[in-house]
Amino acid sequence: MKIAVIYGGTSAEREVSLNSGRAILQALSSYGYEVCGMDVDQTLFDELKRYQPDLVFLGLHGRLGEDGAIQGALEILGIPYVGSAVLSSALAMDKVMTKRILRPLGIPLADDRVYVSHRAPEEDQVERMMDDILSHLTLPVIVKPNREGSTFGLTLATTESLLKQGIRQAFAHDDSILVESYIRGMEVTVVVVGTARDAQNPPRVLGTIEIIPKAEVYDYESKYGMNGSEHIIPARLPEELLSQVETYALTAYTELGCRDYGRVDFMVGENGPVLLEVNTLPGMTATSLVPDAARAAGLSFEALIDQLVSQAYQRAHP
């Protein structure tokens, strides 16, 4: 089987994507697949046409990679791929849309405010946003771009000064931003494999991980720096609470129509779990959570990649 691994791209997560792509390439090569790595630029589709892969494995993260854009192009080209399809990818990348879909299901979500500006907001706009935030939420709050990953543009605003700074920083990454109540507690992620509404390969929990970041928040350095965080599998939660978190994760993954693999992030505070976001193409680097969950489940990273390839290929060739 010929497999193209697409990585890199132009999002803020380019470096993470390059590392994920290299790890995926190495894993596929170890299983004897014929592989070719491809960066995302204007020559990508010509390169795909020349190589004519049987399957694409996406090592992309962030916008124009994880948001359904590349997936849509692959659908047009008729090339099957590992990972969630166009709609699921687009919905999960948009945190506001994710919350609109999940809130009616009774999944706990943080209180929030959403703001849009198609250019850098003027000082008076920022002041109006701050007034609105402070009238609805209590500091500290989390300020983040609506459609960005790896905590790029995220600020934990404990003061009004940091809130103003966070608003400007978030708008530097996206034209819509999300401001949420800060939940203090245990950071937990649930790694899910399988495909929504597929009786042959239904979604199941591969592992639930407790994350102990060295920083106050699970930021970029905590995620990708060596020893930036400690991962404990399974998360040290009471059995009933662990089951509740995993049920919420499976519900969110299924409702968004995700397939193959993904990650659902939570904060577990004094009032219970709160879902943060759903990742349809989570990191596959040496410090990433999905490989950790696989190892804890007795599955090597290479074997996991092979399983994902087999499932995606069989879906395309029933």
**Binding site annotation covers 277?**
yes
CATH for 2-82? Answer: 3.40.50.20
Active site residue 84: no
Q: Is the dihedral of CA 39, 40, 46, 51 positive or negative?
A: positive
Q: Which fold has domain 112-181?
A: Dna Ligase; domain 1 (3.30.1490)
Q: Report residue 10's pLDDT band, with 50, 70 and 90 as the boundaries.
A: confident
Give domain limits for the chain: 2-82, 91-107+184-280, 112-181
Look over the chain and give the mean of its residue pLDDT values, rounded to a whole number.
Answer: 94
What's the pLDDT at 196? 96
Q: Was 122 annotated as part of a binding site?
A: no
Residue 43 has pLDDT above 60, yes or no: yes
155-186 per-position pLDDT tens digit: 999 999 999 999 999 999 999 999 999 999 99
- Inform me whether the pLDDT recorded for 257 exceeds 90: yes
- Residue 255, annotated ligand binder? no
Distance CA 218, CA 186 (A): 11
Could you tell me which of 254, 234, 255, 230 has the C-alpha nearest to residue 243? 234
Q: Is 288 a catalytic residue?
A: yes
* 90-99, 108-117, 204-213, 281-290, range with the lowest pLDDT: 281-290
CATH 3.30.470.20 assigned to 91-107+184-280: yes
Q: What is the pLDDT of residues 213-253, one digit of tens each?
A: 876 665 555 555 556 689 999 999 999 999 999 999 999 99
Q: Is 13 a catalytic residue?
A: yes
Which two tokens mark 15?
């470096």
- Catalytic residue, chosen from 13, 148, 180, 246, is 13
Predicted local distance difference test score (pLDDT) of residue 64: 86
What does each C-alpha distance from 301 to 152, 159, 228, 268, 284 come to in angstroms?
26, 42, 21, 28, 9
pLDDT band at 78 (very low <50, low <70, confident <90, very high): very high
Q: Which two tokens stand for residue 11?
A: 């999002």
The DSSP code for 180 is E
Has residue 308 got a pLDDT over 90?
A: yes
**In 3-state terms, what secondary structure has residue 296?**
helix
In this predicted structure, what is the pLDDT of residue 209?
98
Which pLDDT score, from 0 to 100, does residue 223 have?
Answer: 52
pLDDT at 6: 98
Q: What is the pLDDT, as a whole number, of residue 225? A: 55
* Residue range 262-288, pLDDT digits in tens: 999 999 999 999 999 999 999 998 779
Q: Provide the pLDDT confidence category of residue 84 given band limits of 50, 70 and 90.
A: very high
Range with the lowest mean pLDDT among 39-43, 68-72, 217-221, 264-268?
Answer: 217-221
Please tell me if the domain spanning 91-107+184-280 has the same topology as the one spanning 112-181. Answer: no
Which of these is catalytic: 150, 181, 222, 229? 150
